[in-house]
Structure 1
Amino acid sequence: MAIRPNTLGGAKLPSQSRAAHSQEAVEVLIVGGYPPPTGGVTIHIERFHQFCQKERFPIRIITQFNSAPHKDVLRLKGGAVIQLFHLIYLILRFKGKIIHIHAARFNKLLYGGLPMIWAASSKVKILTYHTDAGASAPKGALKQWALKRILSRFEYLICVNENQKEYFANNLGITKNKLLVIPSFIPLQNIPDNVSGEIRDFVHAARKRVDYLVISTGYLTEIYGYDMIIDAVKDIPGKTIGIIFVFYTSTDKTYQKILSRKMKSFPNIWSFQDLSSDDFFYLIQHSDVFIRANREDTYGMVVGDAITLGTPAIASNVCKRHEGAILFESGNIGDLREKIITTLEDLSEVKKRQPAFSEQNFATNVLDLYKRILSEKL
């Protein structure tokens, strides 16, 4: 079989005929974030990429972020409009069969969805949606109509939980044969080792100031419940507790001001922005408790990561959580405070009761889908 190279922004992509399939051929193009920054979607895509490398299944990734250099990852540059035109060009140039888009906001799909769908009209199009669909749905009849039109053009929509699947079917009119439920969790493969001296020094200094460290991570937006964590921790008597917030990508400026005022009232609180993956997970690993106080959520992959790293995780009961997570009633500060107290009082026993490392890897489900699509189209 003759293989001729084609290019994707400088990264050479092997092509192939429809008559045969080679492991060297690149048949899948993923559009989505790649770290840094470190967040739920970017971590998911990075780990899926690592999984595909181990399986010798080549993929290419297009990201809008200034991600770490990698031969399989192309970074879009420029402003939003230039990035969109560049993305359309690259999709048109891609010779493979599958375009897999990862999204965490419907507004992003409304902005660039139709041009992407047009550019990928000859491909099998897959969408994985990582956010609570009902909570992030656009308002207004015109936007709802446009969103339904865009979503209907995908051959497959991957939902990360059953509630999301029901919303797509019942509220957005997506036929159920297009909807697949595949949770986003892909296990952490490596303990962080390339940690900056600054982060190591911070942990050492913080440990001297407080008895316990609790940590929470996510977008700097209201749904993550950072204010609730401060309110829950500040009234706990007897022990000095420090709070670490790690924010990434999106920021709600109004909520940022509210949270900033609340943070000033608490003596031992620190925040970081857009850390590297190793620094991010090192902080989680060296904290006593991880807290996921989201008012809306789909799974919270980082909850599973915390448990994998040996850090007990307390999470709101808004969705299915990773095995071993300690749940509290969403929005209930008193219940969150009680869960923090009981966890810290019995910390060594809580850690002993945590489940062993989970071998379940939902990346396998996605790769199986790719292989099935390719076998059907060859």
Structure 2
Amino acid sequence: MNSINIINILGVYPPPLGGVSIHVKRLIHGLNKYRLIFLINYGSKVKGFEYIENIHSLPFYIFSLLWKRRRIIHVHSNSYVIFLLLLLFGIRHKIGVTLHNQRIARMKSSFKQFVFTSFFHRADFIILNSKKYSDILVQKYRLSENRLHVIPAFIPPMKSESCGLPKGVLEFRKKCNYLISANAFRLVVEDGLDLYGLDLLIDLIYDLRKDGINAGLLFCLPEIGNKKYYEELQKRIENYHLKEYVKIVSGIIQNAFEYWKISDVFIRPTTTDIEGISVKEALWVNTPAIASDICERPAGTLLFENRNYLDLKDKVLKIYKKDKYETIDFRENVPDVVNEILKIYNSL
């Protein structure tokens, strides 16, 4: 570390629980083993950790950087508003960002793209987990490659996260001979499509059961999100007579990987993604994983064509029949993400 010895990570600590907040949680606890690095948490209030500072207003915190001691600011967000505020008030500090999805390059607003371009040229480091996306950003925003770092977002679950499963979930597992699990941060309909593919999974359970397979779906959904769409899916479940075989778990879920562990297969049928931490969690606990082909997926993942239901069903049946699917030891190939990010801090 050079002359800067204060590091602030701007992010949301769960709840709510999603791929980004899980990464932030595991990252801050991992980094704290090496040195005192503060998480500026602008989500739900968290108690019991001296290195997590809860704030009520992220804009005010960024404004206060004008008079704060020089530090490294590492933000986990795609928000053009946050980027603009950092451009205006973070001029004295080293600033970096982790991009957790690929939406920025697709945004059409010329003003937002102006902010993104300005911020990326100002940033001291940009972390993302896809070489392909890195190349897109370099070309689109004419960036220097040496400031972009391709580092996976997946950090293995901590021992403290294991807390067992509810009785109702365990009973559901016993009822289904073939348990499929999946998740969504919240239900989202984007360009007329179910972003997380729950509609496909409901149809899948219906067809599998028609084919004589005692299949069930365990779907983790911390927040409902689009309530109108949720009600439509509930009607579909009812019309298919699947209420006993589709279990949607809502609320705070701190240990999603334990749900994947009791499953026969985990499915990630998203229409957009940059990594899908839950896919790696499933592989980490030795559960076969199937995912849409819309981004780079970890070795050992069985891919299906995005939104192609027949291809999805075919891949599910391959695993069910154990047909030409070989698992790999995923744990052998997991890099030390915390240490890689620490190296970036130390280089500034």
Alignment TM-score, normalising by the size of structure 2: 0.86
Alignment check: 8 A CA contact 2:182 2:220 kept: yes
Deviations 1:250-288 (A, max 9, x none): 82455434434333333311212342323x222222222
224-233 or 92-101: which moved more? 92-101
CA 1:337–1:131 in structure 2 vs 1: closer, same or farther (change >3 Å)? Answer: same
Mapping for residues 315-326 of structure 1, pairs under 5 Å? 315-326=291-302
Unmatched 5+ stretches in structure 2: 189-193
Q: What's the CA shift for 1:59? A: 0.8
Equivalent residue for 1:143, pick from 95, 99, 112: 112
Equivalent residue for 2:204, pick from 225, 232, 239: 232
SS for the counterpart of 1:30 is strand
SS for the counterpart of 2:27 is helix
1:177 aligned to 2:152?
no
1:61 aligned to 2:33?
no
Equivalent residue for 2:51, pick from 52, 58, 72: 72
Q: What's the CA shift for 1:96? A: 4.7
Task: Count residues with an aligned counterpart.
Answer: 335
1:223 aligned to 2:195?
yes
Q: What's the CA shift for 1:362? A: 2.3
Q: What's the CA shift for 1:216? A: 0.8
User: Within 1, Cα distance between the matches of 2:253 and 2:71?
Assistant: 33
Q: What's the CA shift for 1:333? A: 0.8
Alignment check: 8 A CA contact 1:315 1:325 kept: yes
Q: What's the CA shift for 1:31? A: 0.4
Deviations 1:101-139 (A, max 9, x none): 011xx4xx22232223322211110011100246x7322
Query: What is the letter of the counterpart of residue 185 of structure 1?
Result: F
1:44 aligned to 2:14?
no
User: Within 1, Cα distance between the matches of 2:102 and 2:160?
Assistant: 29
User: Within 1, Cα distance between the matches of 2:155 and 2:62?
Assistant: 29
Alignment check: 8 A CA contact 1:214 1:244 kept: yes
CA 1:91–1:229 in structure 2 vs 1: closer, same or farther (change >3 Å)? Answer: farther
Query: What is the letter of the counterpart of residue 147 of structure 2?
Result: K
Mapping for residues 1-378 of structure 1, pairs under 5 Å? 18=3, 25=5, 27-54=6-33, 56-69=34-47, 70-77=49-56, 83-89=57-63, 91-92=65-66, 94-103=68-77, 106=78, 109-133=79-103, 137-190=106-159, 192-195=161-164, 199-219=165-185, 220-221=187-188, 222-236=194-208, 237-248=211-222, 251-253=225-227, 255-264=229-238, 265=240, 266-267=242-243, 268-278=245-255, 280-346=256-322, 353-358=327-332, 359-373=334-348
Query: What is the letter of the counterpart of residue 245 of structure 1?
Result: F
User: Within 1, Cα distance between the matches of 2:160 and 2:214?
Assistant: 28
SS for the counterpart of 1:314 is strand
Alignment check: 8 A CA contact 1:152 1:174 kept: yes
User: Within 2, Cα distance between the matches of 1:256 and 1:163?
Assistant: 34
CA 1:192–1:32 in structure 2 vs 1: closer, same or farther (change >3 Å)? Answer: closer
User: Within 1, Cα distance between the matches of 2:169 and 2:67?
Assistant: 47
CA 1:214–1:50 in structure 2 vs 1: closer, same or farther (change >3 Å)? Answer: same
Query: What is the letter of the counterpart of residue 95 of structure 1?
Result: R
User: Within 1, Cα distance between the matches of 2:94 and 2:141?
Assistant: 21
SS for the counterpart of 1:35 is coil
Alignment check: 8 A CA contact 1:157 1:179 kept: yes
Query: What is the letter of the counterpart of residue 76 of structure 1?
Result: I
Query: What is the letter of the counterpart of residue 275 of structure 1?
Result: I
357-366 or 124-133: which moved more? 357-366
Deviations 1:55-99 (A, max 9, x none): x2221011222153222112233xxxxx23432255446435210
User: Within 1, Cα distance between the matches of 2:330 and 2:247?
Assistant: 30
CA RMSD of aligned residues (A): 2.7
What percent of counterpart residues are identical? 25
